[in-house]
Amino acid sequence: MKMIRALVRMERESEVIRRLETAGFYGMTKFMVMGRGQQQGIQVGDVSYDMLSKQMLLIAVSDRDLPAVVELIEAAAYTGHPGDGKIFIQDVLESHTIRTGAQEHDLQ
C-alpha cells in the first residue's frame, strides 16, 4: 500500500477530487498548506509572494491502483504553468482502524 501526498493549486483541487471520485477513489484527507517550490514563489509587479497557498491531499491506495491515481491527479491538476504542484509517494507499513481495532501489517 502507498500513501500519496499531492500538493495542488487551490483552484484545481475540486477537479482533482471530482476525477478521483468518478474513478471510485473516495477516501482522502485534505488540508490547506503554504509553501513554495523551485521557483521560490512568484513576482507580481513590485510585490513578491514567497509562500503560496496549496491544497494537500493524502490518499492511501493499493500498489495496483497507484499508477492510475497518480495519472488522474496529474491530469486534473495540470495547467502547464509553474506551481502546478507535486506528488510524493511513500510506503505504508501498517494500518489501524480505530473503530474496530483491526490492524494490517506489511501492506506493500
> What CATH number did the domain enclosing 68 receive?
3.30.70.120
The total number of structural domains in the chain stands at 1
Containing structural domain, residue 53: 2-40+49-105
What is the per-residue pLDDT for 52?
A: 83
CA distance 89 to 33: 18
What is the per-residue pLDDT for 42?
A: 63
What is the per-residue pLDDT for 104?
A: 79
One-letter amino acid at 31 equals F
Beta bridge partners of 80: none
| Model confidence pLDDT, tens digit, residues 57-107 | 999 999 999 999 999 999 999 999 888 899 999 999 988 889 988 887 755
One-letter amino acid at 80 equals G
